[in-house]
Amino acid sequence: MPTTPFTPGSPGKIIAVHINYPSRAAQRGRTPSFPSYFLKPATSVAASGGSIERPLGTELLAFEGEIALIIGETLRRATPEQGWAAVSGVTAANDFGVYDLRQADKGSNLRSKGGDGFTPLGPGVIAAAEIDPAALRIRTWVNGELAQDDTTDDLLFPFGQLVADLSQLLTLEPGDIILTGTPAGASVVAPGDTVEVEVDAPTAPGAPSTGRLITNVVEGTVPLPPFSAPPQVDDVQLAEAWGSTEAVAPTPAGFDLTEALKAKINSVSTATLSVQLRKRGLDNVSIDGLSSTRPATRLVGRARTLRYIPLREDLFAGHGGGYNAQKRVVDSLQPGDVLVMEARGELGSGTVGDILALRAQVLGAAGIITDGGVRDLAIVAGLDIPTYYGGAHPAVLGRRHVPWDIDLTIACGGAAVQPGDVIVGDADGLLVIPPDLVDEVVDAAIEQEREESFIAERIGAGERIEGLFPLNAEWKVRYSEWKSRQR
């Protein structure tokens, strides 16, 4: 059963359903008794293969793979059976939204979901008359990895009911589009990502498919003007954009920086950890050139990141004041987090001061790292939280910086740092350890220091360095015997 190509036009109405999949309802923690809707403008329609701009200065662009119903006839006050019969075809859709812009809309979603290109549709259309509406499948991929996979067999509101419900008060017309909700798995994407959505009917004759609806995410280049409501992010928007509170700034699968693991990390020096990282080909994982307010305090935690861009006055007007990215990331810190800031090594202003450092300490953050300046250094140095910094400066950040991105890969002190990396610091310096290498590196470091303890013991007893450091075959045997006696 072949599909026909979807031709982007200008539908009279695009109507979207808020929650319709049980998996999404469970994720959001609420199950509606009746469907609710919002409108998207016809100018938001885009074809497969195009690009969507994440508006400059925003960070929470989220995808939502959906099944779109195409209305084929004029309909008013229909029954659910008549509602499905009025659907001419189904296609894939992506209901993009910028959660940073939701607050000013007061629930209308106009700016957050109505932007140009925010409703990609296509590329093919499956004829509705030849499929069972309860036997469709919706899947979404981000950069080739499956993010959403669900079916229509247990929808809260079947397709026929949605069409009939809307027709009670609205006249539905040929070409109108109804977006039928998204399953669990919708989340945030960033410039450089590619999102693909496919709808198919795997049990129907010929297993028809819409093909993959492809959208490439790019960064916008034009900031919102001062007369527009600026982006705002709070805990609710973060959780809803990412899908859940637990998904915000997600940690690598299968990795948990437990107290037991922290204790193991703290049992070895940064110097030893550096050796083990280098043995594994990682020779550029030290954050260099910084001083510490607490050099005697060991720092171990998970990285959260903040990037500053160079000051440009028009950009600072929209992004530098109010509840900006710097304040948002500090307010979102959790116990054990290490805030790592990219300030380009610019020391001509502060990037953090006493108030924000105190807030980080109260929230239980493990440390603060910036390759820029610190204000109120004497007060910051008096706090318990260790702060690593490039220098002191009395000026506010607006002299040199605009706070810009949160929880992206950054550069700090010559090292690349990703959200979730393990940060270890002491008087010797700072290391960045990829989460998937932590257990291996720490275990090897513990063994290295045990071996070095044996070598130091033998050197103290008068043995020559030759053959002992590093151990030759003879000394390795003696080391094994010594180690067995230590247990």
How far from the centroid of its chain's Cα atoms is residue 67's Cα? 25
Using H for helix, E for strand and C for coil, what is the string for 111-174?
HHHCCCCCEEECCEEEEHHHCCCCCCEEEEEECCEEEEEEECCCCCCCHHHHHHHHHCCCCECC
280 DSSP 8-state letter: T
Region of 57 (left: φ > 0; alpha: ψ -120 to 50; beta: rest) is left
Q: Which residues of 248-270 are buried (b: 16+ CB within 10 A; e: fewer)?
A: bbeeeeebebeeebbebbeebbb
**Residues 345 and 381 sit within 8 Å (Cβ to Cβ):** no
Q: In 3-state terms, what secondary structure has residue 304?
A: strand
Point out the annotated binding site: 353-356, 375-376
Feature table: binding site for Mg(2+) = 376
Buried/exposed 77-93: b ≥16 CB within 10 Å, e otherwise: ebebeebbbbbbbbbbb
Structure tokens at 289: 């050139």
Q: Residue 202: which residues within 8 A CB-CB, separation 6 or more?
A: 135, 137
Which CB contacts under 8 angstroms, 24+ apart, belong to 101-104?
101/55, 101/58, 101/229, 101/231, 102/237, 103/229, 103/232, 103/234, 103/237, 104/229, 104/232
Which of 40, 210, 59 has its CA nearest to residue 140? 210
Which segments are annotated as binding site for substrate? 353-356, 375
